[in-house]
Amino acid sequence: MTVTIKFCGGARTVTGSMHLVSTNKANILLDCGLFQGHRDEFYAVNSNFSFDPQNLDACVLSHAHIDHCGNLPTLIKKGYRAKIYSTSVTRDLCRYMLPDSGHIQEEDIKYVNKINKRKGLPPRFPLYTKDEAEVCLKYFRTVEYHKRFSLSDDVDLTFFDPGHILGSAIPILDLKTSKGSMRIAYAVDLGRYDIPLLRDPEVPKDIDYLIIESTYGGRTHGSMEKAEKELATVINETIKRRGKIIIPSFALERTQLVIFCISELMRKKKIKKIPIFVDSPLAVNITKVFRENWEYFDDVTRKIFLTGEDPFGCDNITYITDVEDSKKLNTETKPMIIISASGMCENGRILHHLRNNIENPNNTILIVGFMAKDTLGRRLVEKVKKIKIFGQQHEVQANVVAINSFSSHADANGLVDYVKSCGDRLKQVFIVHGEEEQSNILRKNIKKLDIKVQVPAKNDIVFLKS
Ligand SMILES: [Zn+2]
Ligand SMILES: [Zn+2]
């Protein structure tokens, strides 16, 4: 039997994860992520698949981050009619993540078409609309952790927990081959040990082939204790200056983690109790899904829920959905914390908060997440002094602080340790989901373990030996 993997997206880059596993009897797509980049590249990359969606037998999702699930509506638009397999939490999260992505694209195209009209250029269309995103929700079929499920005559699927975000999974494909069996693990994305809210990553046994992420292939994170200390210092210093703390944050997972940590610091009296505003309708909905699925959290968080407390709500937190309530924050002058999306500052309400606060040296822009190349968030991290928001130049006078230790990705050591723990059957590792430099550092480190390892390029095909 011939088994191949084609790396269709998210290879030698972070976003757009998509890999095709083919056997004699089935074509199975692992993830269908959205590639994020400049507008023209975004449309060119995301509208073209290097396979025929109608020939697929299954699509398996690792988790609900948009770089892993965000191109599903295009897949459906291009004729995919098989099932989308995920954990139940991932499906619940996709109910909000996918329509939100459609809405962002509609808004972006509205803005582009206004300019095009003035220039006499033809109108453009979004990759998919909010309504088109909603259509794909009916294709979901949920599979719970550790329950082996048959995808085809020759492929079984089992989900393990990578501890990356709530509901995330390491899909394991067990293939029946002429010589027996073959086990492929897809650890993209992989989480960390001992971070709040989430369970520790699980290591499935007897893996033959491992596909692994490399976002932080060559970088290490500080501990969570260090992150919390830095967070307390930044907040206390900004309160002293009577400034505001603006936190651009991914609506999914990072926002809830930051709320949890800030609430803990306030409870322990390490920072003053000041108002916290979570200004993101998406984050409000995601937090609701988190509360409904509390039994998937780690032991500590589950205990908090069991005592009737809410780890994402205390008397000084306000969740904002209404635009008018969001605008009211502009005129407030007292110290406060505003957490808003999008995480990489490319769109959403965070842009309004940055525009209103970035020129005041008393304020702090606190970066708590990964910022991809060519994003406004990345320019802030790189301490660029002048930035453009809504077409207007702004001088960056506010204090910009980046705390990397909140990452929900394994770091350089975590990734190598994970490979080590995979066991003796491991034949080869494929490194994806990383900027090339990071993937190459991980490749060198895995090579030292005497394990065959490769950083495939987009659309490379590998043949697996059983
Ligand atoms: Zn992720
Ligand atoms: Zn990812």
Q: In angstroms, what is the span from residue 406 Cα to ligand 2's centroid? A: 15
Q: In angstroms, what is the span from residue 116 Cα to ligand 1's centroid? A: 35
What's the pLDDT band for 50 if we cut at 50, 70, 90?
A: very high
* Helices vs. strands in the chain: H and E counts, helices first: 14, 22
Q: In angstroms, what is the span from residue 16 Cα to ligand 1's centroid? A: 11
Q: In angstroms, what is the span from residue 150 Cα to ligand 2's centroid? A: 26
Q: In angstroms, what is the span from residue 215 Cα to ligand 2's centroid? A: 8
β-sheet bridge partners, residue 389:
392
DSSP class of residue 315?
A: T
Show me where the domains of the chain are located.
3-219+408-464, 224-406
Return the exposure string of 12-30: e unless at least 16 CB atoms fall within 10 Å of the residue's CB, then b: bbbbbbbbbbbbeebbbbb
pLDDT at res. 141: 98
Q: In angstroms, what is the span from residue 51 Cα to ligand 2's centroid? A: 21
Q: In angstroms, what is the span from residue 132 Cα to ligand 2's centroid? A: 23
The string of pLDDT tens digits covering residues 93-115 is 999 999 999 999 999 999 899 99
Q: In angstroms, what is the span from residue 68 Cα to ligand 1's centroid? A: 7
pLDDT beyond 80 at 466: no
pLDDT at res. 342: 86
Q: In angstroms, what is the span from residue 14 Cα to ligand 2's centroid? A: 7
Rounded CA separation 340/283 (Å): 8
Q: In angstroms, what is the span from residue 312 Cα to ligand 1's centroid? A: 21
DSSP class of residue 238?
A: H
CATH number for the domain whose boundaries are 3-219+408-464: 3.60.15.10
Among 164, 165, 166, 167, CA closest to 142: 167
Write down the pTM of the prediction: 0.94
pLDDT at res. 169: 98
Q: In angstroms, what is the span from residue 342 Cα to ligand 1's centroid? A: 15
Q: In angstroms, what is the span from residue 152 Cα to ligand 1's centroid? A: 27
Rounded CA separation 427/209 (Å): 6
The string of pLDDT tens digits covering residues 164-177 is 999 999 999 999 99
Rounded CA separation 199/191 (Å): 9
pLDDT beyond 90 at 465: no
Residues recorded for the chain? 466
DSSP 112-175: HHHHHHHHTPPP---SS-HHHHHHGGGGEEE--BT--EEEETTEEEEEE--SSSTT--EEEEEE
pLDDT at res. 263: 92
pLDDT at res. 373: 80
pLDDT at res. 18: 98
3-state DSSP assignment of residue 104: helix
pLDDT at res. 179: 84
Q: In angstroms, what is the span from residue 190 Cα to ligand 2's centroid? A: 9
Rounded CA separation 240/253 (Å): 29
Q: In angstroms, what is the span from residue 124 Cα to ligand 2's centroid? A: 28
Q: In angstroms, what is the span from residue 214 Cα to ligand 2's centroid? A: 10
Q: In angstroms, what is the span from residue 120 Cα to ligand 1's centroid? A: 40
Q: In angstroms, what is the span from residue 432 Cα to ligand 2's centroid? A: 10
The string of pLDDT tens digits covering residues 79-88 is 999 999 999 9
Number of other residues whose CB lies within 10 A of the CB of residue 260: 16
Distance (Å) of CA 203 to CA 159, 338, 429? 11, 37, 15
Nearest ligand to residue 191 Cα: 1
pLDDT at res. 374: 82
The string of pLDDT tens digits covering residues 195-229 is 999 999 999 999 999 999 999 999 999 999 999 99
The arithmetic mean of pLDDT across residues 230-239, rounded, is 97
Q: In angstroms, what is the span from residue 210 Cα to ligand 1's centroid? A: 17
pLDDT beyond 90 at 44: yes
Helix axes 254-267, 281-292, angle to 10 degrees: 80
CB 274 within 8 A of CB 366: no
Q: In angstroms, what is the span from residue 223 Cα to ligand 1's centroid? A: 20
Q: In angstroms, what is the span from residue 347 Cα to ligand 1's centroid? A: 19
Helix axes 281-292, 88-119, angle to 10 degrees: 170
DSSP class of residue 221?
A: P
Q: What's the distance, CA 233 to chain centroid? A: 27
pLDDT at res. 165: 97
337-340 vs 245-248, strand pairing mode: parallel
Would residue 160 be called left, alpha or beta, if left means φ above 0 and alpha means ψ between -120 and 50 degrees? beta
pLDDT at res. 315: 85
Q: In angstroms, what is the span from residue 42 Cα to ligand 2's centroid? A: 16
pLDDT at res. 370: 86
Maximum CA extent, the chain = 70
Among 178, 189, 182, CA closest to 61: 189
Rounded percentage of the chain residues whose pLDDT exceeds 90: 92
The string of pLDDT tens digits covering residues 329-371 is 999 999 999 999 988 998 889 999 999 999 999 999 999 998 8
pLDDT at res. 429: 98
Among 292, 284, 276, CA closest to 321: 284
Fold classified for 224-406: Rossmann fold (3.40.50)
Q: In angstroms, what is the span from residue 311 Cα to ligand 1's centroid? A: 22
Distance (Å) of CA 59 to CA 82, 154, 166, 265, 349? 8, 15, 20, 41, 32
Q: In angstroms, what is the span from residue 325 Cα to ligand 1's centroid? A: 30
pLDDT at res. 189: 96
The string of pLDDT tens digits covering residues 258-291 is 999 999 999 999 999 999 999 999 999 999 999 9
What's the pLDDT band for 39 if we cut at 50, 70, 90?
A: confident
Q: In angstroms, what is the span from residue 338 Cα to ligand 1's centroid? A: 23
β-sheet bridge partners, residue 365:
246, 400
Using alpha carbons only, give the angle 434, 155, 5 rounded to the nearest 5 degrees: 35
Q: In angstroms, what is the span from residue 315 Cα to ligand 1's centroid? A: 30
Q: In angstroms, what is the span from residue 348 Cα to ligand 2's centroid? A: 20
Residue with tokens 């660029």: 384
Q: In angstroms, what is the span from residue 63 Cα to ligand 2's centroid? A: 9
β-sheet bridge partners, residue 279:
320, 340
Q: In angstroms, what is the span from residue 371 Cα to ligand 2's centroid? A: 12
Among 171, 170, 163, 233, CA closest to 199: 163
Nearest ligand to residue 250 Cα: 1
Rounded percentage of the chain residues whose pLDDT exceeds 70: 100
Mean pLDDT rounded to a whole number for the chain: 95
